[in-house]
Amino acid sequence: MRELLKTHFGYDEFLPLQEEIIGAVMDGQDCFALMPTGGGKSLCYQLPAMARPGLTLVVSPLIALMKDQVDALEANGLPAAFINSAQTPDELAQTVRRVRAGEIRLLYVAPERVTEPRFADFLTTLSVGLIAIDEAHCVSEWGHEFRPAYRELAGLRQVCPAAPIIALTATATERVRADILSQLGLRNPQTFISSFNRPNLTYSVAPKERGLSSLLSLLERHRGESAIIYCGSRKSTEELAQTLSEQGFKAEAYHAGLEPNERRGVQDRFIRDRTPIVAATIAFGMGINKPDVRLVAHYDLPKSIESYYQETGRAGRDGLPSECVLYFSYGGKSRQEYFINQIEDPEERERARWRLEQVMSLCSLNACRRQFVLEYLGEQWPGANCGGCDNCLQPREQYDATEIAQKVLSAVIRTGERFGAAHVIDVLRGGKSERIRTQGHDKLSVYAIAANHSRDDLRDIIENLKAAGLLAANAGEFPTLGVTSRGREFLKNRESLTLARPIVQRKDPAARESGGGESYDAALYNELAALRREIADQRGIPAFMIFGNRALQDMARKAPRTPAEFARVSGVGRAKLEDLGAPFLERINAYIQEHGQQRGTPETADSRFRGNDCSLRGNDGSPRGTGGPATEPAPRITSQSYRETGEIISGGASLDETAAARGLSPQTIVGHLERLVESGIPVQWAHLLPPPQRRAAIETAFEIMGDNPLRPVWQELGGEYGYDEIRLVRLSRRQAAQAKPAPAPSAAPDPRSMLRVNRPLP
């Protein structure tokens, strides 16, 4: 298994529990695996699929997720395929033929497909060696994403009686786990429960009153990085996406009301880094297999802690620091309660109310938020300070709440303990509603005794009193407040009470550093990231499928010079070594020759060499918060290698002639030329541009599609133009733009325009 792990995925070691789970699967045992997002669940069946006889059938909930996983497996040299409704009849027939011929090791299907009689008949003709059920929490009515077709998956046991079953999920309370084991009919399953903790994620709650300005500031700090913003309705996703676009951010809306092609387009552009920000409903969920999402924000309340955990789990799947911010207002609770009251089944309605109360408790919490979420999911958190949530990083100010607590408790008692928080707050603030007059509550001694407190302050205090056990709310359709026996003792004994002040707008805690702390050459990282993007655009796949950020960081740290050294980079397996080793080694060697640096030795005196402090630097190596390149001037090209390229081109050599003379690829020569031109080195290269007619066509495509990334331009041109000539025309356009004189200063700018400055260069 370790050999397969290195060969196909490029890793030397297993993550926690992977080895034990794989061992049980290889022994033919049924398994249940609960592992956090990013914990490596997929490897627990993908590796056995390469070693066990027969086909591995993978039940996956969304067709977009299937395609991404199959693409990633094929990039790693594993034969995989999927069957779903998006395929044409010819594509389906081709897949079936390959499966029957034994050419496919892993076949992905949706649960609705698996339970069709015709598909079951098809399975009986195959040798199925393993069944993997992904997102297994969908089988439980107690879960947050129940999907009826999952209930019928137990029938797979009769169709494929000899195949062991492994069920996997990242989110399941103890009750959901028991339901999964029961519903799927697993035989004496081995159960593996990993920690739910995601140490690279930072959790915080911010007030919704000034949510937009806070969100804009947050997105500016993550400029150029991928972000998901969850909203409570389709309309709000569209409004927010439009607002963000007007403020200079590239954002799109995603919800179930879009046409299927529109939804796929938004998701595809997000996955391929063409749309960095998506404002989405929870429909934008399990199908997102993108490892480098740096921010997940909930602009409206999530429906449950499970949903919150699952949705924040989209952030930082590559293990690098990422932020999760929840915008909170008590008005959001009222909107959720409206939808809960529409639920017809009384038991499900009560479950939904209880889940919402847990979300409210998380938002008003004064203690560690990580601990609260983990304990909700059934895991004990050993420490009092996680160092990765707002309450632990920036504790709220404490104050003497004895007097206001006495007023609130007295108001609950005086109004008869028959009313909810909203009415009690109205009485305390001196409200003039008809209900207050009808009940005679404007005559009570507690009427208007807290008029100096805002409605949200009193809401926060009530939540704190509930958490302290002094107040309780019943679970009915119209929950009412009551003073507990502990609360009556508090009043009788005139005890004192200290509470934390309500959440105020404050500086968002920065994402923390990644755990490794090892430095790497950020300038080399940027070179490799650019190469990754070029190759990904040419192949029409997301950049992370070429190499993940961690692999690029390891390359920039180790600076391998030979194939043997490159094979030791984390994330480089045999397939990727053979497929991608040459261009990446070429770029690394050219970089080292240019800069003359010892491999893996960052120069602290040289600003080009940076540590991996992801809380301070963006994907482009620029300081986070500026949204653009580093402020120091770009280093001059000093490498003799680059200068030799420039001299040959200036002598009139063609691109192919220059590549042959240098022993490099034409693609690398274009890269040399780009660096020379951007650094101001004079090079006579106009003869490399395509003929006027072809150049005009490329110029037109750039005007339509923009000049970054290149693949849309290539597609606009019908694939009839090479990437090298497209890059050369782009370089000419940029050179011409730089040569234009700066416009004269105009009148004072609109302050809102400041949000658009310092954007990263394409």
Partner residues linked to 253 by β-bridges? 279
Partner residues linked to 473 by β-bridges? 481
Asked if residue 237 lies in contact with residue 253, where contact means CB atoms within 8 angstroms, the answer is yes
Query: Is residue 657's pLDDT more than 80?
Result: yes
Ranking 117-121, 262-266, 294-298, 709-713 by mean pLDDT, the lowest is 709-713
Query: How far apart, in whole angstroms, are the C-alpha atoms of residue 521 and residue 497?
Result: 53
Q: What digits encode the pLDDT tens for the residues 474-527?
A: 755 567 899 999 999 999 999 988 887 766 544 444 433 333 445 788 788 888
Q: Which spans in 76-147 are helix H?
A: 89-100, 111-114, 117-124
| pLDDT of amino acid 477 | 59
SS (H, E, C) 421-444: HHHHHHHHCCCCCHHHHHHCHHHC
Q: Within 10 A of 625 (CB to CB), how many other CB atoms are there?
A: 16
Whole-model pTM: value is 0.60
pLDDT tier at 629, thresholds 50, 70, 90: very low
Mean pLDDT in residue range 362-387: 86
Query: Is residue 240's pLDDT more than 70?
Result: yes
Domains of the chain: 2-193 (3.40.50.300), 201-387 (3.40.50.300), 398-500 (1.10.10.10), 519-611 (1.10.150.80)
Secondary structure (3-state) at 312: helix
Mean pLDDT in residue range 294-302: 93
| pLDDT of amino acid 285 | 57
pLDDT tier at 627, thresholds 50, 70, 90: very low
Burial class (CB in 10 A: 0-12, 13-18, 19+), 334: exposed
Q: What digits encode the pLDDT tens for the residues 169-210?
A: 887 778 888 888 888 888 899 999 888 899 899 999 988 877
Q: What digits encode the pLDDT tens for the residues 562-582?
A: 888 898 888 888 888 888 888
pLDDT tier at 366, thresholds 50, 70, 90: confident
Ranking 393-402, 415-424, 498-507, 627-636 by mean pLDDT, the lowest is 627-636
Count CA within 13 A, CB hemisphere, residue 183. Answer: 24
Mean pLDDT in residue range 706-721: 74
Query: Is residue 446's pLDDT more than 70?
Result: yes
| pLDDT of amino acid 207 | 82
Query: Is residue 351's pLDDT more than 50?
Result: yes
| pLDDT of amino acid 154 | 84
Tokens 């309780």 label which residue? 472
Provide φ and ψ at 500, rounded to 5°: -90, 145
pLDDT tier at 597, thresholds 50, 70, 90: low
pLDDT tier at 625, thresholds 50, 70, 90: very low
Query: Is residue 229's pLDDT more than 60?
Result: yes
| pLDDT of amino acid 64 | 64
Query: Is residue 135's pLDDT more than 80?
Result: yes
Asked if residue 291 lies in contact with residue 303, where contact means CB atoms within 8 angstroms, the answer is no
CA-based end-to-end distance of the chain: 42
DSSP structural state of residue 389:
B
Q: Answer with the residue of higher pLDDT: 606 or 455.
A: 455
| pLDDT of amino acid 640 | 61
Average pLDDT, the chain: 81
Ranking 24-38, 58-72, 232-246, 597-611 by mean pLDDT, the lowest is 597-611
| pLDDT of amino acid 596 | 59
Segment 239-248 long-range contacts (CB within 8 Å, at least 24 positions apart): 240/279, 240/299, 241/277, 241/278, 241/279, 243/212, 244/216, 244/219, 244/277, 244/279, 247/216, 247/752, 247/755, 247/756, 248/753, 248/755, 248/756, 248/759
Mean pLDDT in residue range 221-228: 90
Ranking 112-126, 382-396, 431-445, 571-585 by mean pLDDT, the lowest is 382-396
| pLDDT of amino acid 610 | 29
Query: Is residue 600's pLDDT more than 60?
Result: no
Query: Is residue 670's pLDDT more than 80?
Result: yes
Closest Cα to residue 591, out of 609, 579, 578?
609
- Name 483's Cβ contacts closer than 8 Å, sequence gap at least 6: 409, 412, 413, 417, 470, 471, 472, 491
Query: How far apart, in whole angstroms, are the C-alpha atoms of residue 597 and residue 605?
Result: 13
Query: Is residue 289's pLDDT more than 80?
Result: no
Query: Is residue 212's pLDDT more than 80?
Result: yes
Query: Is residue 48's pLDDT more than 80?
Result: yes
Q: What digits encode the pLDDT tens for the residues 716-726?
A: 787 788 878 88
| pLDDT of amino acid 741 | 60
Q: What is the secondary structure of 529-579 as a DSSP string?
A: HHHHHHHHHHHTS-GGGT--HHHHHHHHHH---SHHHHTTSTT--HHHHHH
Q: Quick one: what percent of the chain has pLDDT higher than 70?
A: 86
Q: Answer with the residue of higher pLDDT: 759 or 234.
A: 234
Q: Answer with the residue of higher pLDDT: 560 or 704.
A: 560
Q: Quick one: what percent of the chain has pLDDT higher than 90?
A: 27
Query: Is residue 168's pLDDT more than 50?
Result: yes
| pLDDT of amino acid 577 | 86
Secondary structure (3-state) at 193: strand
Query: Is residue 530's pLDDT more than 50?
Result: yes
Query: Is residue 69's pLDDT more than 60?
Result: yes
Q: Answer with the residue of higher pLDDT: 467 or 415.
A: 415
| pLDDT of amino acid 74 | 84
Structure tokens at 35: 């592992």
Residue 346 amino acid letter: P
